A and B are shown apart, each in its own frame.
Chain A
Amino acid sequence: MDDDRDPQLLKGVLPMLVLAALRQGESYGYELVTRLQDAGLTELAAGTLYPVLNRLEREGRVSSRLVASPSGPARKYYLPTEAGTTELARAQRSWLRLAATVARVLDTATPTDPDAAPAPPTDDHRRTP
């Protein structure tokens, strides 16, 4: 399986994935990273996720609270707000539409019979001065 992913693709959908992961339950930064890594985003780093969490919080799509831990320092737990849940539903619809369109375009553009594809022009057809 080809695991090379375009980081730009991930960047576009990461806020949606974060909201989706948080919908399953309140979580803190590092746990969220491991949760998304376990889901298949193996190359996701904390440094990629934290700015997204910060933006979602600034935009009021997630709320946070500090929870004291007996074994370590306090952790910041995140949970989607109502606005976040609404945004997740919107982003999900938008993503599904885009994915369907991309699949359709790729289907059309992929030649099924290599012989049927138009041959590229060769040097023989070029005119020389």
Chain B
Amino acid sequence: MTSLSLRDRLVREAYLTRFSWAVQDHPHDHALVRDVRREVTATADQIGMRAAVAGLGHPRVLAEGYLAELGRRTPRWATGGVWAGLAVGALVYLALAYTLGTLDTLLDLGGGTLTRTTLGATTQYTATADALGVETSLSWQWLLLGAGVSAVAFALGSRAWRVWTPA
């Protein structure tokens, strides 16, 4: 059996990475990636890897071809996961920005300690010339907010309603 050069492997895997992302909506996406890998490897044996990959066209167009043949639209779970991650990241960023802003204001006012209770969680901000600190506790309301925001982002990002699209 002819073994592939490192360069050919890189060309093939770069293409398949883009294809696997684009075809994630397909219920058998892993099998498709495996099939395309086998086909392109076998074809490369005859015409070379670059020509074999070129024959497949753009990975997104190839993925759209497979999805079109499916005859229905399917959820994009991986995209939903990314959206949920970004939403939680945005919440964390906002909390950090608020915390740093509060500490900065405390320092500008001459330093001291401030206690605030939001959504059932009590947070103590300390900012003096010697110490800078934040102490907080978790509350079920915050957990609910985080879960709600990530769930909504996941549902929107993944187009979860497509689960109910008739086949």
Cα of A72 to Cα of B3 in the assembled complex, Å: 8
Interface 9-residue window, one of A49-57, A80-88, A95-103, A114-122: A49-57
**Residues of chain B lying within 8 A (CB to CB) of residue A50:** 35-36, 39, 56, 62, 65-66
Q: Which of A23-62 contact B (CB under 8 A)?
A: 28-30, 33, 45-48, 50-52, 54-55
Q: Chain A, interface size: which category?
A: 20 to 34
Q: Is A54 in contact with B66, judged by CB distance below 8 angstroms?
A: yes
Q: Is A71 in contact with B1, judged by CB distance below 8 angstroms?
A: yes
Interface size on B, residues (CB 8 A): 24
Query: Smallest Cβ distance from A61 to chain B, in angstroms?
Result: 12
Among A47, A51, A52, max chain B CB count under 10 A is at: A47
Contact string against A for B residues 91-111, beta-carbon threshold 8 Å, 1 for contact and 0 otherwise: 000000000000000000000
Which of B1, B42, B57 touches A28 (beta carbons < 8 Å)?
A: B42
Task: Count A-B pairs with CB separation below 8 Å.
Answer: 72
Q: Does A69 contact B (CB under 8 A)?
A: yes
Which of B45, B55, B68 touches A72 (beta carbons < 8 Å)?
A: B45
Q: Is A45 in contact with B39, judged by CB distance below 8 angstroms?
A: no
Known contacts A72-B41, A73-B1; is A46 also within 8 Å of B69 by CB?
Answer: no
User: What are 21 A-B contacts defined by CB distance under 8 Å?
Assistant: A29-B39, A30-B55, A46-B43, A46-B56, A47-B61, A47-B65, A50-B36, A50-B39, A50-B56, A50-B62, A51-B62, A54-B66, A54-B69, A55-B69, A69-B45, A70-B1, A72-B45, A72-B46, A73-B41, A74-B38, A75-B38
Residues of B within 8 A of A (CB): 1-2, 32, 35-36, 38-39, 41-43, 45-47, 52, 55-57, 61-62, 65-66, 68-70
Q: Ordered nearest first, which 4 A-B pairs have the shortest CB separation?
A: A72-B45, A47-B57, A51-B65, A55-B69
A-B contacts besides A29-B39, A50-B56, A72-B2, 18 pairs, CB < 8 Å: A28-B42, A45-B55, A46-B55, A46-B56, A47-B55, A47-B56, A47-B62, A47-B65, A50-B36, A50-B39, A51-B65, A51-B69, A54-B32, A55-B69, A55-B70, A69-B45, A72-B46, A73-B42
